Structure 1
Amino acid sequence: KKPKDMPKRPLSAYNLFFQEERNRLINSDKAGVGFENMAKTIAAKWRSLDVDAKAPYEEKATVNKQQY
């Protein structure tokens, strides 16, 4: 069992992107979409991003990992 005072693991670049996109989709007109479809849509969007578009998420993930 993990100690309760142990910090949470840092999120990966994909998880940061997923979190941001999920919030954007929930606040948009597509709020009624199920989680499975939303996850597939976000995953496809992540795969289609180029390296430059992924860079901010990679940087945030690296900073979070170093702080962890």
Structure 2
Amino acid sequence: MKNKRGKVVSKKSHAAGKKNYQNISTWTEAVLKARKELGIKGFCAVGGKTAQGKALYAKAKSLYAA
């Protein structure tokens, strides 16, 4: 079978990837929501050296905990 990038992978590795994504999916949703609320467009490192990155991390962390 093919993954979303078109690379041929086994059914076992496809299933393992889907299972592993479940562990981080809530964090991903929290970061997306935080980006939208803060009005961040383009690349921004979460928790990086910039004030914007630190604000994004703090907002995502609060949304993730709630």
TM-score (norm 2): 0.35
Normalized per residue, the structure richer in helix is: 1
Q: Which has the higher contact order (CA 8 A, sep 6+)?
A: 1
Larger C-alpha radius of gyration, 1 or 2? Answer: 2
